[in-house]
Structure formats: C-alpha cells, structure tokens
Amino acid sequence: MELNRRTVIAGAAAAGIAATTLGGTAHATGGTAHPTGGRTPVRKPFGTLADGTEVHSWSLSNGGTRLKVLSYGGIVQSLEIPDRHGRYENVSLGFDDLADYVAKSPYFGALIGRFGNRIGKGRFTLDGTAHQIDVNDGENTLHGGSRGFDKRVWDVEPFTKGSDVGLRLYHTSVDGEMGYPGTLRVKVTYTLTRHGDWRIDYEATTDRATVVNLTSHVYWNLAGEDSGSIHGHQLKIAGSRYTPVDSGLIPTGELARVAGTPFDFRRTKTVGEDIRVAHQQLLYGQGFDHNWVLDKGITAAPVPVATLRDPSSGRTMTISTTEPGLQFYSGNFLDGTLVGSGGTVYRQGDALCLETQHFPDSPNKPSFPSTVLRPGQTYRTTTVHSFGR
Ligand code: GLA
C-alpha cells in the first residue's frame, strides 16, 4: 500500500503539471471555460438506434485528462492522458461507430448492471423466492443479461462543481427487467477532478428487495489503444486471496491464497510474467479472468488497491475503491475479429480490465459479502482512477 500511496501523490503532481501546461490553450474538446479550471462538457450527436432513439457523445476535460462518454451504455469511448513527454493517447479500447457498439462490443468502456460478472445458471433465491434471470453466457448470466445497462440509453446531465467537471447518468430499470425483481433507479456520476482523476460514484435504490453489483468495463492499454499487447504492463494488486472458478468461470466459493501462484500481484510484476504458467485456473480463463479479494475489504471511502504502469510511455493508473473485489481480466477473448477506433485489429491481450465489484455469483454464495439491496436502503460505491506519468 505504501507504494500505492506514493504513486497517487506522484500521479497527482504529474497531472498538476499537465494542467498548468494546458492552462489557457484551447482544448480539443472545446467547451466553456470554468473559472476554477474545468470546462462545461460538450454534447454532439453520435448516431441513432434502430428504434429512432438518438445517442449523444459528451466530451469533457480537466486536469490534463480528456474523456468522451456516450449516452448509450454510459460508454467511455475514449480517455486520453499524456505520456512522460506530454503526448496524448487514447488509452481505452473502443469503436468509432454506434453500430459497432450495438452489434459486437465486448462491453468496451461500458457501465455494467444490474449485476457485474456472472450469476451461475442465471438463478438465485431471495427471501425464499426463486428468480430466473436472462441467461447470455452459456448456461450463466454475464454482466446483467443480454440487454444489460451497457445497452441502455442513459439520461445525461452535465455539471461543473467547484473545480470538478462531470456528467450525471440516470437509468431506471423496471421491475422484472432481465428477470430481476424491483424497479431499480440508478445514478452514476462521472467526475474529472482538477488533478485529472476520473471518479465514478454509483448510487441505486429499489422498491423491492433485489441484488445489485455495478461496475465499469474499460479496456485499458496505457501505451495507447492501438499499440498491441499489454503483457509488458506492470501491475500490483493489494489482494492476498482470490476467488477460484469452475470451467464456466463461476466461483467455487473458496477464497484461495495467491501466495506461490501466478495470482500473486502483491509485489509489482508484469501481466505477462506468469500468464503462460500451466495453472488450471489460467486454463479456465484463457489467462487472468478472476476476482481478487481486496485485503482492505469494504471501506466507507476509496482506498488504493491496484496500480498499473506502462514502462514504454511512463503512464500510470492507480485505482482506489470502496468495493471489496477487483476483477482482473487480461483481454483473453479479444480474438482479432474487431477493428478498433484507431483502425487497428484488437487481438488477445491487447488490453486489460480492472473492474471494481462485489464478488461474482454472490447471490448464490452466502459466505460472500452481500449484494442484496432493500427498499429504504441506498446502494453507494465509489471508484477513482488516478493517472500519472
Ligand atoms: C468480464 C468477464 C470475462 C469476459 C469479459 C467480457 O471481464 O469476467 O470473462 O466475459 O467480461 O468479454
């Protein structure tokens, strides 16, 4: 954790320099200058869905970070940060066109709900009632079902507050949508701080007992989205245990120690160092696709839990969260069939995801931290991405 804390401070300092350098120059994203530094987000048409719904893209920048967000899926279409020489790259995989997001996106940049990752056989029992939800990953449910939050058009409201700039995204998921009980009202706030941090605050309420587990599915490549393998990226995760899975990637319920396994990222190592070790868990996932049990547990405020660094560009990202789990997915199912926003083909291992969450299949694992939300309660989690170079 010591290293993490230093990295956050270093990251903030670096972003501060970037902010000064950019001060007074015209941002590519435009917008009205805000007295304390931020700029009003700018909205542009991004296309129309088959049912006639218009989709918009929103551009915002602050503290040296530039973000483009779609009203469709709350998708981060691009996130640009400078390298050690001040050169900007989009470090998040995505597409140029709405049609690609609708037809074939493996959750690029999207908001995930109602339930991040898998629920075994799409079934769970809550207060004695059995629920069958939409099954979309073999016999299991993945990321909410076939029409999860990544495929919904969100209401987007821009804001500037003090030195922060951001977007509030709203979606109401009706009772029974994808088989989940209760009308779920969701608000997700994306904030860019004056240090260039990207902060996500998730909130939800329900009118019937239900389960909720929200996350964000950005595919990171800190060298730039079109620059190939991330196996040289250095990663550190503050988790001494992880949740092993079966062949369908459903947790067995065990909390296994990472010590002496390829899953030990407590000391920084490259993603590629152990990815080819013949460990049964790596065979199941075709690489890393597992939930780390974060040592800090659930916290009221975000705590640093993971640091990612690309030695070639010098770009770093530290993730802090209130959540107890982190899904590290090493882009194993990218198979060379998708052409990304930079015009290049994405292949296996060209990006990685670090999804803060409650543990997969929690509704069927009484020993895991609960994902149940009841009327009168408010679901609240926060994750912060801090960038440095
Ligand atoms: C998550 C899952 C992976 C995969 C990706 C999307 O990270 O854990 O198994 O389904 O989403 O392709």
| Coil, strand or helix at 2 | helix
- Going by alpha carbons, the residue nearest to atom 11 of ligand 1 is 117
Please tell me if the CB atom of residue 265 comes closer than 6 angstroms to any atom of ligand 1: no
Atom of ligand 1 nearest to the CA of 353: 7
| Coil, strand or helix at 5 | helix
Q: Are 231 and 349 in contact (CB under 8 A)?
A: yes
pLDDT of residue 39: 74
pLDDT of residue 143: 98
Domains and CATH numbers, the chain: 12-388 (2.70.98.10)
- Going by alpha carbons, the residue nearest to atom 2 of ligand 1 is 117
d(CA 98, CA 151): 11
State the residue for tokens 């990202």.
317
φ, ψ at 259 (rounded to 5°): -50, 130
Please tell me if the CB atom of residue 181 comes closer than 6 angstroms to any atom of ligand 1: no
Pocket test for ligand 1, best of 146, 214, 288, 289 (most atoms within 8 A of CB): 289
List Cβ neighbours of 86 (8 Å cut-off, separation of 6 or more).
Answer: 18, 21
| Coil, strand or helix at 70 | strand
Between the CA of 104 and the centroid of ligand 1 the distance, in Å, is 14
Between the CA of 329 and the centroid of ligand 1 the distance, in Å, is 7
Please tell me if the CB atom of residue 58 comes closer than 6 angstroms to any atom of ligand 1: no
Give the residue numbers annotated as catalytic, written as ranges.
217, 355
Please tell me if the CB atom of residue 117 comes closer than 6 angstroms to any atom of ligand 1: yes
267 cis-preceded (ω within 30 degrees of 0): no
DSSP 85-126: TS-EEE-B---SSHHHHHHH-SSTTEEE-SBSSEEGGGEEEE
| Coil, strand or helix at 345 | strand
pLDDT of residue 309: 98
Please tell me if the CB atom of residue 216 comes closer than 6 angstroms to any atom of ligand 1: no
> What tokens appear for 108 in the block?
């690029």
Q: Tens-digit pLDDT profile for the chain (389 aa)?
A: 222 322 333 333 333 323 222 222 333 344 555 544 457 899 999 999 999 999 999 999 999 999 999 999 999 999 999 999 999 999 999 999 999 999 999 999 999 999 999 999 999 999 999 999 999 999 999 999 999 999 999 999 999 999 999 999 999 999 999 999 999 999 999 999 999 999 999 999 999 999 999 999 999 999 999 999 999 999 999 999 999 999 999 999 999 999 999 999 999 999 999 999 999 999 999 999 999 999 999 999 999 999 999 999 999 999 999 999 999 999 999 999 999 998 999 999 999 999 999 999 999 999 999 999 999 999 999 999 999 99
Please tell me if the CB atom of residue 333 comes closer than 6 angstroms to any atom of ligand 1: yes
State the residue for tokens 């679901």.
379
